Amino acid sequence: MKRVVSYLLIVSMLFSLVGTGVCNVAKEEAKAASSYTVTEEDFTYCYITFNDSEEEYIGISSYIGNDTDVVIPDKIEGCTVISIEQSAFEGCDKIKSIVLPDSITTIEEWAFYGCSSLQKINIPEGVVGIGAHAFRNCKELKEIHLPDSIQYIDEEAFLSTGLLQIDIPEGVEKIDCDAFANTKISEVIFKRPDVLIADCAFRCYGEEGYTTNIKVIGIKDSSAEVFARH
């Protein structure tokens, strides 16, 4: 089985890797002596290590296959797959469905940006957040289930998707600006009383400027009620 391996020595904290396209593992808790990416079959992936463990994990760096229905394995080379890295599936406009393994905990920014044919994807319990622009312009994505483990939804995470309705689980603490902007969402359900909701989180762009016209369901005297009244 042919593999292409490229190496990058790290001389400082992994924050320096953000935006290099090699491996976006710049987490506060992550530190490694070296990082490298491997191309094998349909995926390019990277190895991730953490301060408190010598165990190696896998992050999916890019998809190079041609399948319309993609299944990501829970292990590669014996290592657990925990992350969809920055821009891993960006522009994969032929993919219609993606199955993520239960081991995934991180979906980085721009991860599925421009997957314009994507209709179905699961977000496993254990994922703690949706990175900025992660599903932006996934125009055929009409529904998605967010697990209780989600704590934050970053800016423009679902901008210009085809979503029709969304339930915000109780674990979500913050929803950033334009997180669900320019969608077809007509109803949103909030289960947490004190979630921080950006005023522009659900706005739509039109000829008359920005508007927010959705049905908000939440707890009385909660932040959802305050959001609905603005």
Tens of pLDDT, residue by residue over 27-66, are 445 434 335 688 888 999 999 888 877 899 999 999 999 9
Tens of pLDDT, residue by residue over 185-206, are 999 999 999 999 999 999 998 6
Say which residue the tokens 């010598």 belong to: 54
Question: Residue range 150-177: average pLDDT?
Answer: 97
Say which residue the tokens 């190696």 belong to: 56
Answer whether residue 179 shows pLDDT above 60.
yes
Q: How far apart are CA 35 and CA 12, in angstroms?
A: 12
- CB-count exposure of residue 25 (10 Å: 0-12, 13-18, 19+): buried
Q: Both tokens of residue 147?
A: 């697990």
Q: What type of residue is 134?
A: A
Say which residue the tokens 């920014």 belong to: 109
Give the pLDDT band (50/70/90) at residue 209.
low
Give the pLDDT band (50/70/90) at residue 130.
very high
Range ranked top by mean pLDDT from 16-25, 54-63, 137-146: 137-146
Query: Which pLDDT score is estimated for 101?
Result: 98
Query: Which pLDDT score is estimated for 111?
Result: 98
Q: How far apart are CA 82 and CA 102, in angstroms?
A: 9
Q: At residue 78, what are phi and psi to the nearest 5 degrees?
A: 80, 0
SS3 content of the chain, % helix, strand, coil (to 5): 5, 35, 60
**pLDDT greater at residue 189 or residue 14:** 189
Query: Which pLDDT score is estimated for 208?
Result: 64
Answer whether residue 224 shows pLDDT above 70.
yes
Answer whether residue 21 shows pLDDT above 70.
no
pTM, two decimals, is 0.84
**Mean of per-residue pLDDT scores for the chain:** 85
Computed on alpha carbons and rounded to an integer, the radius of gyration of the chain in Å comes to 18
Question: Residue range 140-147: average pLDDT?
Answer: 97
Q: How far apart are CA 101 and CA 93, in angstroms?
A: 21
172: Cα separation from own chain's centroid: 14
Query: Which pLDDT score is estimated for 83?
Result: 96
Intra-chain end-to-end CA distance of the chain, in Å: 58
Answer whether residue 67 shows pLDDT above 60.
yes
